Amino acid sequence: MTVLNDLLRHLFPRLQNREKLPLLPLDWTSDQGDIDAIHHQDIQLLKAHSVARTSQDAQRILKRHPELHVGQIIKQYKRKRVRQNRFLRAARRFKELLK
């Protein structure tokens, strides 16, 4: 019974903590410029959702899309993790075991 459990754990491992973290933005980054105090909460929200690295980056994104709400900006700019199907991963791991 433990052999079967060990095999299932090997084929279907749990996600590690680093795989659960949000991805950082790929765009340019700069800390030059002033920040509007009016948009301070929106800027912090964009940084918390990993849409912008610095406050100035978030300020530029807000100026680029003044017509959108912050939630819509987050949906548009947030990077998604691309994972392989869990059954395909398990089949690949099983083939490696048979080698």
- pLDDT 10s digits, 39-95: 999 999 999 999 999 999 999 999 999 999 999 999 999 988 888 899 999 999 999
What is the CA 8 to chain-centroid distance, rounded? 27
CA atoms within 13 A on the CB side of 59: 15
Instruction: Indicate the pLDDT class of residue 21, thresholds 50, 70 and 90.
Output: confident
Q: How far apart are the first and last CA of the chain?
A: 23
Instruction: Quote the tokens at residue 85.
Output: 């199907």
What pLDDT score was predicted for residue 11? 92
Do 22 and 78 form a contact (C-beta atoms < 8 A)? Answer: yes
Do 52 and 46 form a contact (C-beta atoms < 8 A)? Answer: yes
Do 49 and 78 form a contact (C-beta atoms < 8 A)? Answer: yes
What pLDDT score was predicted for residue 18? 87
- Read off the pTM: 0.71
- pLDDT 10s digits, 6-19: 999 999 999 889 88
The residue ranges of every structural domain in the chain are: 1-22+82-99, 24-79
Residues 59, 61, 66, CA angle at the centre, nearest 5°?
95
Rounded mean pLDDT of 26-38? 82
